[in-house]
């Protein structure tokens, strides 16, 4: 009898349920009645405070297209995992206790970078762990693609598509702020797919004068409007030169809701353009997973099930060159997959005239 735990942690995304379904259906198909699955509720919080439920095949029926997570989720900072809670509870020991109480053979953890670091911590503590790479940011090291990314790209792209008509009608400059604090994969792909004229991402600090020059170039060419796809973590060249302490001090007194509003004000001042900001926000991680993510999630879940059956633990399941693979957690935990400013996709975007403000 295999006893398996499922846990979803961190921000939700469209394909969490599809991935859990891939794990469960594969285990039931291969092991029949020789498997029991336990859902840990609300992420690591449930593992810490002993909140879980026994699951059956019915729990995984009809969830392929359902967004969010049927188990619930929460954010539990990796940095505070070694810090006792307000009642003095040792969180790591509490998680190990729940794992052992359930007599689990393996805990499958679905989540992003912070989730992955805690998953690796539990591996170091002796638990059998498999991690599945979830994030709309596509920033997990060791896998070409994370589930949730393509669905978010489609939503952000649709937003930019919709902005085109109103931008053209009014001759305005529109800034569409796309999710991504540290990396720009989502903004980059949505910007290219949506036909944005300017794309600003964290990995390529921008010069506001060059951004304005790109806008004015379009105006002189009688293009009529300009669309910017801006990552929420986009940063100017001036700010990029600041020390962490200096930048933190600046942001403490930051008068804008986000960088997009600062950009809007500066662009209006420097060019005289009529500027508007659109923030699709959490819609980017909501709704039903797109077909690409349904396929990817099913494959990753099925591979995780095979690894459980074969008792191969301590890995992340990734996808490289179109094939699923196992990647040692210790090799990838804590690493971010950034956009390389010299990557071919950046060069090709510049060739078609997209400005990165650099």
Q: Which residues have a catalytic role annotated?
A: 137
Collapsed DSSP state (helix, strand, coil) of residue 238 = helix
Q: What is the DSSP annotation of 291-342?
A: HHHHHHHHHHHHHHHHHHHTT--SEEEEEETTEEEEEEHHHHTT-B-PPPTT
Rounded Cα distance between 17 and 65, Å, is 8
**Look-up of token digits 């509490």:** 94
Instruction: Return the number of other C-beta atoms located less than 10 Å from residue 124's C-beta.
Output: 14
Rg from Cα positions in the chain: 22
Distance, first Cα to last Cα, the chain? 58
**148: buried, middle or exposed (CB in 10 Å: 19+, 13-18, 0-12)?**
buried
Strand order in the sheet with 52-55: 52-55, 35-40, 2-8, 106-111, 129-133, 315-320, 323-328
Structure tokens given for 77: 């900072």
């Amino acid at each position: 009898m295999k006893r398996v735990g499922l846990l979803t942690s961190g921000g939700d995304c469209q394909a969490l349920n599809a991935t859990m379904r891939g794990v469960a259906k594969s285990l039931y198909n291969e092991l029949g009645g020789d498997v029991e699955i336990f859902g840990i509720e609300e992420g690591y919080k449930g593992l810490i405070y002993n909140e879980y439920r026994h699951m059956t095949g019915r729990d995984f029926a009809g969830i392929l297209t359902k967004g969010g997570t049927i188990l619930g989720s929460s954010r539990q900072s990796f940095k505070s995992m070694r810090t006792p809670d307000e009642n003095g509870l040792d969180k790591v020991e509490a998680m190990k206790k729940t794992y052992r109480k359930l007599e689990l053979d393996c805990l499958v953890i679905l989540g992003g970078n912070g989730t992955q670091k805690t998953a690796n911590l539990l591996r170091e503590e002796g638990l059998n762990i498999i991690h599945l790479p979830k994030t709309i940011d596509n920033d997990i090291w060791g896998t070409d693609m994370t589930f949730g990314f393509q669905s978010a790209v489609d939503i952000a792209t649709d937003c930019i598509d919709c902005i085109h008509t109103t931008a053209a009608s009014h001759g305005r400059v529109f800034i569409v702020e796309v999710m991504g604090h540290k990396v720009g994969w989502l903004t980059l792909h949505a910007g290219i797919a949506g036909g944005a004229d300017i794309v600003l991402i964290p990995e390529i600090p921008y010069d506001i004068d060059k951004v304005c020059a790109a806008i004015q170039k379009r105006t002189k060419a009688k293009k009529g409007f300009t669309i910017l796809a801006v990552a929420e973590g986009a940063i100017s060249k001036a700010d990029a030169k600041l020390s962490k302490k200096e930048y933190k001090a600046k942001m403490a007194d930051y008068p804008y809701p986000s960088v997009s509003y600062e950009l809007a004000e500066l662009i209006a001042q420097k060019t005289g353009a009529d500027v508007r900001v659109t923030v699709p926000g959490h819609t980017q991680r909501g709704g039903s997973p797109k077909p690409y993510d349904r396929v990817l999630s099913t494959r990753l879940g099925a591979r995780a099930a095979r690894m459980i059956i074969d008792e191969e633990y301590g890995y992340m399941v990734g996808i490289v060159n179109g094939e699923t693979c196992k990647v040692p957690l210790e090799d990838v935990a804590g690493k971010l997959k950034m956009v390389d400013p010299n990557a071919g996709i950046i060069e090709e975007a510049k060739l078609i005239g997209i400005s990165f403000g650099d």
